[in-house]
Amino acid sequence: MRAAVLLQYLLPHRFLSRLVMWGTRWTFAPWKNFLIERIVKAYRVDLDEAATADLAAWPHFNAFFTRALKPGARPLAAGPATTVLCPADGKVSQAGPIAAGRILQAKGQDFSVAELLADEPAAAAYADGAFLTVYLSPRDYHRVHMPLAGALVGTAHIPGRLFSVAPFAVAAVPRLFARNERLVCLFEGEHGPFAVVLVGAMLVSGIETVWGGVEVPPYALAITRRDWRGAGVHLERGAELGRFNMGSTAVVLLPTGGRFDLALAPESPVRMGQAVGQVAG
């Protein structure tokens, strides 16, 4: 395991990610069918819930990886508008209160909200709020949805490394989520602000949004901020927000008064649309 962690620092992150991006978009049928079949078998992907299980329907591997689900495959949990929904399928990496502006990454590892957002003023709203970090594995549905209804206020594409976000790396690489390339999405909901952060990772660093299309790559050299106030981008709770071209991690931040369920222990499986917390009404 030590060797695997050391490699995280030595490997050419962006070069490898570009190679994978090219390979996963190659439309040569024998190649893309081979990749799809390997992933389906290795990770026991449930194709019964996919909008189509026909290999020929996907032009390349990435189209399969970002596949849509059948209508009704992810029913949204009932409850008032203050009920927070899980944004993605996957497993809980960590969840809980934000303590003095810091987020738990793993045992002995944490980082600040300000580092994650690269924005001290925006981070102030979450200094004593709550967070949920969801890890998406290769078998999971790779679209990310809104935990609450809200209007898009701003985005920030933050440059960084592309460490793996697999559990072994999260446990060993300090401040990993605040170091990886990521897209911060800030929203204003009926009951206050909230944030969804899409974190890139080695080999799996492509990020798209429903309002802006492909956001990553290109990989950034400097922070790129966009003000979306007044643009009319409002998404309902449970609506698709974006997707990972290959998988990664989504982090949800709630402001003061927000909380996530205590049952969300590390490694707990979660599905998009299930109730995972509450915001103050």
Tokens 């996963």 locate to 24
Helices and strands, number each (H, E), in the chain: 7, 18
Is 164 part of the annotated catalytic residue set?
no
Helices (H), 156-230: 167-172
| 122, pLDDT greater than 80 | yes
Give the model's pLDDT for residue 14.
Answer: 82
Is 191 part of the annotated catalytic residue set?
no
Q: Model pTM?
A: 0.94
Closest CA to 42 of 169, 138, 167: 138
| 2, pLDDT greater than 80 | no
Give the model's pLDDT for residue 127.
Answer: 94
Options 13, 60, 142, 145, the catalytic residue:
145
Options 93, 164, 205, 248, the catalytic residue:
248
Is 119 part of the annotated catalytic residue set?
no
Options 17, 60, 89, 142, the catalytic residue:
89
Which pair of structure tokens corresponds to residue 190?
């009926």
Domain residue ranges in the chain: 2-65, 83-278
Q: What is the mean pLDDT of the chain?
A: 93
